[in-house]
Amino acid sequence: MKIDVHSEVGRLESVLLHRPGDEIVRMTQHDLDRMLFDDILSAAEAAREHEVMANIIAATGAEVLELEAVLTASLEAAPTAKLEALVARCCASAGCPSAAAVLVQWPADTLAKALIEGVYWRDLEAQQSSLAHVVALLREADPMALRPLPNLMFLRDPCITVFDRVVQGRMATPARAREPELVAFALQHSPKIGAPLSFETADSLTEAYDCIEGGDVLVLKCDVLMIGCSERTLPTTIERMSREALFPSHPELQRVYAVVMPTARSVMHLDTILTQVDRKLFLGHAPLISGTQRKPALPVVRIDRHGPAAIMAKASAFDVLKDEFGRQTKLVPCGGDDPLHQEREQWTDGANAIALGPGGIILYSRNRKTVAALEERGFRELHLPLVEPEDERNERVAEAMANLESQPTVFTFTGSELSRARGGGRCLSMPLRRKQL
């Protein structure tokens, strides 16, 4: 498969998803802060909602790939040395390097599940004499050698599709450190995909300063990227990636705009406050993207291919978008025009839309004010209930996609459980191919 993502809104042709599973079940209330969650999710409900989202995407004609299946195929196909190196890195980062000798002997499907859902010490009987295991037994509250990856369903973050290759992310928190390793391995060694990687080797001298997550990266056009400088993505990493990986590999790329964001969980990534929904239409948290009379918008810094980083004087992110896409470019305010609902619906992923094609997006139905704001700008809502028969849902989605040019559509479904994990449709998906505009 040729990786091809040159925009945010080109017709979606192939996407990678991960349906939440037992990695959610293996998280208790004692793990919430460490695992970056606000509450315990119902794994069954989250999986059910996620399956509906996957069905909606598949009904558009896009290919939907499941990470666990891709990872299993890659573990089977990869050279033994590569497999052993992956398992060794995962175990070392988890603090149980001796477990690697056991795990590499497991069948590929069992190993893939273990690397995602975690491994209990009791499953590593050969390692019972290790100090790490003995200490874990003494503490009793720490029965796992490898912890689960409950955030892995947010596949936008660990690796980033930029143009014709995959940029390997560097996660800001230990809870997600294993994710880029697994996703990059799955994509690179998959017999079906074989994706080329970029920016994959961390410099040991600067590793502590390397953080970049995919939710912060918007591929606006062939020559322009916009990246959030957020609590999860550092300015040093944005500039290193731009200078060392992106500009040298992509001659057409001319500019990278860095949006300087607050370091706050409520706006952890750029796509929590800004996503593109049509060729010249964006959905965003207006107070931060375009500013208000009382408070200026977030500052933007421009990195040119052949120039230094420079602040865009008195320019908001929305000003930049109008410069790049034309003065006809519009911003739909997440939550509508009421500041109260703007704050509430930004928190519940009202600005985090995944585009299925120009003018066709997926949102959670709970964000009623955001849906109303889209309807005021010509969209219609197509609500797809969880209980609707799949064949009926597929038929309605296909019909709407065939008429997007004349009737932009927001496809909504109940994502009440998924939204409690702090991520919307864009967070939950990793496009591999989009039709070029």
Range from 123-132, 217-226, 322-331, 391-400 carrying the lowest mean pLDDT: 123-132
Model pTM?
Answer: 0.94
Residue 312 scores a pLDDT above 70:
yes
193 and 187 in contact (C-beta within 8 Å)? yes
pLDDT in tens, 351-406: 999 999 999 999 999 999 999 999 999 999 999 999 999 999 999 999 999 999 99
Q: Of 24-33, 196-205, 384-393, which gets the smallest average pLDDT?
A: 196-205
In sequence order, which residues have a C-beta less than 8 Å from that of residue 427 and are 6 or more positions away? 154, 156, 157, 215, 269, 271, 349, 352
d(CA 82, CA 190): 13
> To which residue do tokens 């590569």 refer?
82
- Mean pLDDT value across residues 13-40: 90
**What does the alpha-carbon distance between residue 142 and residue 120 come to, in Å, rounded to a whole number?**
9
Instruction: Give the E-state strand segments of 246-372 in sequence order.
Output: 255-260, 274-278, 281-284, 300-304, 309-311, 330-333, 354-357, 360-364
Q: Specify the range with the lowest mean pLDDT, choosing from 97-101, 130-134, 210-214, 287-291.
A: 130-134
| 206 has pLDDT over 60 | no
**Where residue 121 falls among pLDDT bands split at 50, 70, 90?**
confident
Of the pLDDT bands very low, low, confident and very high (cuts 50, 70, 90), residue 35 is confident
For the stretch 227-244, pLDDT in tens is 999 999 999 999 999 999
For residue 392, the model assigns a pLDDT of 96
Long-range CB contacts (within 8 A, 24+) of 86-91: 86/181, 86/182, 86/185, 87/111, 87/115, 89/181, 90/115, 90/146, 90/178, 90/181, 90/182, 91/145, 91/146
Distances from the Cα of 325 to the Cαs of 280, 281, 282, 319, in angstroms? 6, 9, 11, 10
| Mean of pLDDT values over 213-222 | 98
Q: Which residues pair with 66 in a beta bridge?
A: 17
Residue 176 has pLDDT above 60, yes or no: yes
pLDDT at 186 over 60: yes
pLDDT of residue 209: 63
Q: Contact, 291 vs 240, CB < 8 A?
A: no
5 pLDDT higher than 80? yes
- Cα separation, 417 vs 47, whole angstroms: 9
Residue 392 has a CB neighbour count (10 Å cut-off) of: 11
> Can you tell me the distance from the alpha carbon of 226 to that of 243, in angstroms, rounded to the nearest whole number?
15
Read off the pLDDT of residues 241-277 as tens digits, 9 standing for 90 and up: 999 999 999 999 999 999 999 998 889 999 999 999 9
Cβ atoms within 10 Å of 105's Cβ, excluding its own = 11
Torsion of CA 231, 296, 38, 32, to 10 degrees: 20
Residue type, 98: S
pLDDT band for position 101 (cuts 50, 70, 90): very high
Q: Which pLDDT does position 200 carry in this prediction?
A: 83
Query: Would you say residue 128 has pLDDT above 60?
Result: no
Phi, psi of 337 (to 5 degrees): -95, -10
Q: Which two tokens stand for residue 123?
A: 């499953």
Cβ density class 26-42: b for 16+ within 10 Å, e for less: bbeeebeeebbbeebbe
| Residue the block writes with tokens 């406050």 | 273
What is the CATH class of 12-70+150-434?
Answer: alpha beta
Q: In the chain, what are the domain boundaries?
A: 12-70+150-434
pLDDT of residue 142: 61
Residues 137-157: tens digit of each pLDDT: 666 556 788 999 999 999 999
* CA distances for 174 relative to 76, 90, 91, 170, 216, angstroms: 27, 12, 13, 10, 18
Are the C-beta atoms of residues 76 and 188 closer than 8 Å to each other?
no
What pLDDT does residue 337 have?
96
Q: Order the strands of the 274-278 sheet from edge to edge.
A: 274-278, 281-284, 330-333
Query: Tokens at residue 233, please?
Result: 């993505």
